[in-house]
Amino acid sequence: MILIAAADKNWGIGRNGQLLVKIPEDQKFFREETLGKAIIVGRRTLETFPNGLALDGRDNIILSRDRNLRVKDAAVVHSVQEARDLVSDLPDADVYVAGGESVYREFLPYCTQADITRIDYRYDADAFLPDLDADPAWVKVRESEEKTYFDVTYRYVRYVRRAAAQKSPSEEE
């Protein structure tokens, strides 16, 4: 599984149920990376999608405690294991964990890669990712040149789980 997110300098990812900032190139990156793949999100993240609907061109898996929740064009699951069972026949590279905070934390132990848009700013966030730079289980293997959207600077950073990094040196660029 691949974790995909945008995080600020403090690993903040959101405030009041919304992204901290919307960067069109990052949204395009998300679309290109996840199109044709499975995405796992929580119900509150689903509500932030256009019209609160499942994303087209992806197998949407919604994690929710609400046993009565039904979502058009999506599978609703009620546990991490149920979600993992749904994607067990897919390669890791075809399954993206896309938020929010509790979903990221619950699925992080099962992820072998994290594609993070690191935003060079500290926002007033109330939702956070774990700090992968400080986690000895993760290693940074790729970082893009700095990019700018108006006054926001950011980089695309790829992290891999150390065990995966040792098995796959071709991942480094």
Q: What is the pTM of this model?
A: 0.92
What's the confidence (pLDDT) of residue 34? 98
Predicted pLDDT of residue 172: 42
Residue 44: CB atoms within 10 Å: 16
Q: Buried (b) or exposed (e) across 127-159, using 16+ Cβ within 10 A?
A: bbbbebeeeeebbbbeeeeeeeeeebebebbbb
pLDDT of 171: 43
Burial of 68 (0-12, 13-18, 19+ CB in 10 A): exposed
- Rounded Cα–Cα distance for residues 122 and 63 (Å): 29
3-state secondary structure of 127: strand
Distance CA 168, CA 97 (A): 21
- pLDDT, residue 165, reads 66
Residues of the chain with pLDDT under 50: 168-173
Fold entry, domain 2-167: Dihydrofolate Reductase, subunit A (3.40.430)
How far is it, in rounded angstroms, from Cα 123 to Cα 87? 34
